A = this chain, B = another copy of it.
Amino acid sequence: MGAHIVKTYQEELDQLSAEVVLMGGLAEAQVADAVEAVARRDVGLAQSVVQRDHKLDELEKDVERKCIRLIALRQPMADDLRKTVAAMKLATSLERTGDLAKNIAKRAMVIAEAEPMTPLTRSIERMGKLVSSRLRDVLDAYKAGKLDLAQNVWASDTEVDEHYNSLFRELLTYMMGDPRTISACTHLLFMAKNLERIGDHATNMAEHIHYELTGEDYVEDRPKGNTLNSIE
């Protein structure tokens, strides 16, 4: 902490964003594995998702500590300050993404005990793939520092919501048709909600990258429809 500052500011910033990119890779894998555990009824895979979550928690704390130290000791201005704050915010979103993946994995263990509901878990899988691709795109935008990539993620926010709304209706229909499935279906309902929230984090991250690169907040409202079920 109080030791000599041997690295340049640029080196410290690069290290910080490398750590965020590492977190991004882990979070992406957690989401993909959690969804695969649902689709394949794979309890072992679900367990490993749960066990690995602490890694994201630790990295988030580490990024936060480094950012605050950097702000306090180096007093960055303009661009550099924005980069530091963006790293801190992305780390928070990625840690939460990991929490949501962990929760999906826990629910995967429970529904693996119930009767298979293949059409529904396939829908979860499809939504999971969509959300994973948004995560990947936003992380690519961050790595490349490309504003247009971040804007694409931001502008396509409604896709996940549409998926969520249709899955929500599918679940309601299934439950009404066979009330014995209600308990298992509520797990799928919360999984779908978690995926929707992960998609929301991808949109938030696109906003943070936009701020990092331009210094400006998005002034427009999100493209997402103001439908109820798509709102966190």
Bits for A58-101, please: 1 = Cβ < 8 Å to B, else 0.
Answer: 00000000001001110111000100010000000000000110
Task: For residue A221, give the distance in angstroms from its CB to the closest CB of chain B.
Answer: 11
Task: Give the distance in Å from the alpha carbon of A68 to the alpha carbon of B68 in the complex.
Answer: 9
Docked pose: A228 CA to B187 CA in angstroms: 10
A residues in contact (CB < 8 Å) with B:
68, 71-73, 75-77, 81, 85, 99-100, 103, 106-107, 110, 168, 172, 175-176, 179-180, 182-183, 186, 189-190, 193, 228, 231-232
- Nearest B residue (CB) for A71: B71
Chain A binding site: helix, strand, loop or mixed by DSSP?
Answer: helix
Contact A182 B175 (CB under 8 A): yes
- Contact, CB under 8 Å: A228 / B172: no
Q: How far is the CB of A161 from chain B (nearest CB, A)?
A: 14
User: Across the two chains, which residue of chain B brings its CB closest to A73?
Assistant: B75
Q: A175-B179, A176-B182 are in contact. Are A228 and B110 (CB under 8 A)?
A: yes
Tell me the bound Cα distance from A219 to B232 in angstroms. Answer: 30
